[in-house]
Amino acid sequence: MKIKNLSGLKTFLFDNKTTRQTIFKNSVWLGLAEIINKVLIFVLFIYVARILGATEYGKFNFAIAVMYLFSILPGFVSPEIVTRELSQDKDKEKEYSDILSLKVLLGLGGTALLIISSFFLTSDPVVRKVIWILALYNLFGAPIDILHAFFRARQRMEYESAIKILDAVLSVAFVFFVIFKFPSIVNLSYAYLAESFVLLVVVVIFFHFKIHRLSFSWDRKIWEKIFSLSWPMALVVLITTAYNQTDSVIMGYLGQMTENGWYNAALRITKLTLVPVALLSHSFFPVLSKFYREKENLQKIWDFQTKIMIILALPLVAGGVLTAPKIINLFYGQVYAPAALAFQILIFMVGIAFLYDTCRQALIITHQQKKLFWAVLAGAVVNVILNLILIPRFSLYGAAWSSVIANLIILFLLVGFVIKFTTVRPLNSDILLSFLVSGVASGLMYLAISWTVFAQLNVIFLILIAIVVYFGSLFVLRPFLKLNYAQIKI
């Protein structure tokens, strides 16, 4: 679709005309939202970490980890499954009120479970109070996930983008006010609670009057159906949360609050680097779902997305390892210097996450989410065992290595399951060639920025040089990538 004027630009950004245009439109909106949301939240947490200090920052992240680890019940209404069902059969939109009602009910149950669990995990009354406040914060956020699922099913990601941007702006406004005027982890948690309540009210009003009329409905058969479809994904989310949060929970339980602060400082940066994964995943998922019965088109779209993941993952790992000390010092200062090694380890986890996300999607769209559950379960079990062994001895560095090994196991299992149970062929020659080309370009980039002349530069200039060298190398090697989206005839 060619954009000739402002009217054409408006059509491109707000209308779904063709499959290709819809993917790019959704990518633009989700990209805008993810960048604004993640950058604003990242900047926010930089100030929180600096003002609170490593120990108090560690306590707050311990409370957040507990919140995510024990808020499991709402996940039994999976947003991805809801997106899949609504996108494959629009008539199922009439069941939406029942789905939303089940999500709210499970959210209430999850809040109660979290509050009860807090008594067994910490004897610190301040930390326990923070957990209670964050439980309510999480309750207000649960329905919004299902509203996003509706937007994705209709491929109207511009609405999801607006909500995420509003979420980030409100968070910055509330939290900055509190952290500068009344700095404490309790007041910080109150700021998050207030922000989530305001966001929920605004989003529900907009959705009800502009998108789809909301109501509560209690059809047991629909509940049983959505539960039966969602439980494998819900357990995947639970297990994924377990291996993402167990490290912080164990460090907090062992009293390693300062080390937990260092660890989460490094982890916060790695989460920012995962923005492209979420962007591409949300943009391609509805289209992959739409064409999951068409073997040739599915393979072409999947290959295209996977090549992009490879192109982004390899230089990110290479550059992250080399520049980690400078990055940590830039954002947090020397007091967080021990976080640099943790970041160097965790950046490998980021690269692995880039690589296995398309395999995860392939299993979901082909109704093989139970296989995804077993892969994630294996990784989670290994992660928990390694955390229990390594954290008492190596603290945050043991936690980081546990995460890398667990994600590597998940990658191998997902690739194997995709080969065996789907029509997608993940290890085809185009994908392997993309690895080789990106690896060569990443190697050239690594050599360039490690050169003595450049190595002493400020990290910002170093990153700019890395980008120029890497994408310049890719430009020279582009005939081998076969990254031509126009070849996908859909």
For 295-311, what is each residue's pLDDT tens digit?
A: 777 888 888 888 889 99
Q: Is the pLDDT of residue 4 over 60?
A: no
Q: In angstroms, rounded to a whole number, what is the distance separating the alpha carbons of residues 193 and 196?
A: 5
Q: Is 357 helix (H, G, I), strand (E, B) or coil?
A: helix
Q: How far apart are the first and last CA of the chain?
A: 13
Render pLDDT for 106-164 as a digit per residue (tens, 0 to 9): 888 888 888 888 888 888 889 999 999 999 998 888 888 778 777 777 767 777 778 88
Q: Is the pLDDT of residue 198 over 80?
A: yes
Q: What is the pLDDT of residue 190?
A: 93
Instruction: Tokens for 371, please give them.
Output: 């296989």
Q: What is the pLDDT of residue 440?
A: 92
Which region holds residue 430: left if phi is over 0, alpha if psi is between -120 and 50, else beta? Answer: alpha
Q: What's the mean pLDDT in 54-63? A: 90
CA 419 to chain centre: 25
Instruction: Tokens for 268, please give them.
Output: 């916060």
Q: Which of 333, 442, 463 is nearest to 47 (CA)?
A: 333
Contact present, 465 and 457 (Cβ < 8 Å): yes
Q: Is the pLDDT of residue 418 over 80?
A: yes
Q: In angstroms, rounded to a whole number, what is the distance separating the alpha carbons of residues 162 and 424?
A: 34
Contact present, 339 and 332 (Cβ < 8 Å): yes
Q: Which of 166, 171, 121, 130 is nearest to 147 (CA)?
A: 166
Render pLDDT for 342-384 as a digit per residue (tens, 0 to 9): 999 999 999 999 998 888 888 888 888 788 888 888 988 899 9
pTM for the structure as a whole:
0.73
Cβ-in-10-Å burial (0-12, 13-18, 19+) of 197 comes to middle
Q: Which residue has the higher pLDDT, 11 or 422?
A: 422
Q: Which of 404, 419, 409, 438 is nearest to 308 (CA)?
A: 438
Q: How far is CA 403 from CA 5, 42, 69, in A?
A: 49, 21, 16
Domains in the chain: boundaries = 17-487
Q: Which residue has the higher pLDDT, 10 or 205?
A: 205
CA 402 to chain centre: 19
Contact present, 423 and 298 (Cβ < 8 Å): yes
Cβ-in-10-Å burial (0-12, 13-18, 19+) of 119 comes to exposed
Interior angle at CA 56, CA 51 and CA 58, nearest 5: 115
Q: What is the pLDDT of residue 313?
A: 92
Instruction: Tokens for 378, please give them.
Output: 């294996």
What is the dihedral angle through the alpha carbons of 74, 66, 376, 270, rounded to the nearest 10 degrees? 110
Q: To the nearest whole percent, how much of the chain has pLDDT over 90?
A: 26
Q: In angstroms, rounded to a whole number, what is the distance separating the alpha carbons of residues 24 and 21?
A: 5
Q: In angstroms, rounded to a whole number, what is the distance separating the alpha carbons of residues 332 and 176?
A: 17
Confidence tier at 6 by pLDDT (50, 70, 90): low
Q: What's the mean pLDDT in 219-242? A: 76
Burial 69-90, CB ≥16 within 10 A → b, else e: bbbbbbbbbbbbbbbbbbbeee
Cβ-in-10-Å burial (0-12, 13-18, 19+) of 18 comes to exposed
Q: What's the mean pLDDT in 423-436? A: 87
Q: Is the pLDDT of residue 7 over 70?
A: no
Q: Which residues contact 27 (CB under 8 A, 6 or more apart)?
A: 279, 280, 283
Q: What is the pLDDT of residue 444?
A: 92
Return the percent helix, strand and coil in the chain, to nearest 5.
85, 0, 15
Render pLDDT for 454-465 as a digit per residue (tens, 0 to 9): 767 788 888 889
Render pLDDT for 390-417 as a digit per residue (tens, 0 to 9): 999 999 999 999 999 999 999 999 999 9
Mean predicted lDDT score pLDDT of the chain = 83
Q: What's the mean pLDDT in 57-63? A: 90
Stretch (H or E) spanning 36: helix 19-70
Q: What's the mean pLDDT in 248-264? A: 89
What is the dihedral angle through the alpha carbons of 276, 281, 284, 290, rounded to the nearest 10 degrees? 180
Q: What is the pLDDT of residue 157?
A: 72
Q: Which residue has the higher pLDDT, 248 or 15?
A: 248
Q: What is the pLDDT of residue 8?
A: 55
Q: What's the mean pLDDT in 52-62? A: 89
Q: What is the pLDDT of residue 197?
A: 92
Q: What is the pLDDT of residue 132?
A: 92
What type of residue sits at position 6? L
Q: How far is CA 71 from CA 149, 237, 294, 313, in A?
A: 19, 11, 37, 31
Q: Is the pLDDT of residue 239 over 90?
A: no
Within 13 Å, how many C-alpha atoms sit on residue 196's CB side?
A: 19
Q: Which residue has the higher pLDDT, 447 or 94?
A: 447
Q: What is the pLDDT of residue 142?
A: 80
Least confident range from 162-166, 167-171, 481-485: namely 481-485
Render pLDDT for 68-108 as a digit per residue (tens, 0 to 9): 877 777 777 777 777 777 776 676 767 777 878 888 888 88
Contact present, 115 and 135 (Cβ < 8 Å): yes
Q: Is the pLDDT of residue 187 over 90?
A: yes
